[in-house]
Amino acid sequence: MQNRSLLILFMINLVGLLTDMPMSIDFYYFQSVRFATVDYCTWWTFTLFSFAVIGEFLMAVISIQRHFFIFQAHVFQNRRKRYIFYYLPLILSIIYPILFYIYSIFLVTCDGSQWDFTLPVCGFANCYFLYDAALTLFDYVFNNTVPLAVIFIANVVLIIRVVKQKRHRQQRFVWKKHRRMTIQLVCISSLYLIAWSPVIIDTLILNISPSPSLIQFHMNYVSEFPNLACYGLPWVYAGLLSEFKKWMLKRISPARIAAHTVQPV
């Protein structure tokens, strides 16, 4: 089950990367937004924001669920609890950001003259950023800061719990399994913390003391940091998650694996 949630995170990042990368490459190649229309900028920000926040929420949910997998695996053996504590959080992590940005980006409208076609992602000049301070604050706190805080706290607490359990239990196999699962989660979560922390900090500084040079720096450099999670996630999976690779290969080519399995005579 833990591999299934990691696969969902991987697929969301892959789709988000394939959606955003062509538009970003096109912008940096022509040094401007070639399709300079309101609809294009609206769609670009919607896909970028939605997939980024979905990834954050999924990572936060996976960080919490890993506690159950390590310390209370019996919870997921019950069908009702499995749907409540495993499937439902994953589904909500995908549906909520989409619904939020449908409302914020498509339904909160203005005349469209605010877009800057000389900046990446049209200057991130969505109408709710400019005219709805309460919605912008909610987006910053609940959709970006809270998931990041959950990821950080869940990983720190997990490390502490695993170390304490090692001291009380001297079962080598159990400790080895828990250590491997903890290292996997910490590495994946650290990728999100590294990718999103500069954005959260820089946005906070911009809200306290905005300046043209800082805004330009944010647009050209800091806003690209979240993409590090998308770019780095496949490499982390390939390097650390040997069980995930076996699980993926088994489902991609079960017949091929079965053909190479030695059968007793």
| Number of domains the chain is built from | 1
pTM for the whole structure: 0.84
Which range of residues forms the domain containing residue 103? 2-252
pLDDT of residue 172: 53
Amino acid at 227: N
pLDDT-derived band at 93 (thresholds 50, 70, 90) equals very high
Q: Are 157 and 63 in contact (CB under 8 A)?
A: no
Q: Which residues contact 245 (CB under 8 A, 6 or more apart)?
A: 237, 238
Decide if 223 is inside a domain. yes
Decide if 111 is inside a domain. yes
Decide if 265 is inside a domain. no
Decide if 149 is inside a domain. yes
Helices (H), 72-171: 79-82, 88-101, 127-131, 133-138, 146-168
Amino acid at 27: F
Per-residue pLDDT of 26-53, as tens digits, reads 998 998 999 999 999 999 999 999 999 9
Decide if 264 is inside a domain. no
CATH of the domain at 160: 1.20.1070.10
Decide if 199 is inside a domain. yes
Decide if 262 is inside a domain. no
Decide if 261 is inside a domain. no
pLDDT of residue 126: 92
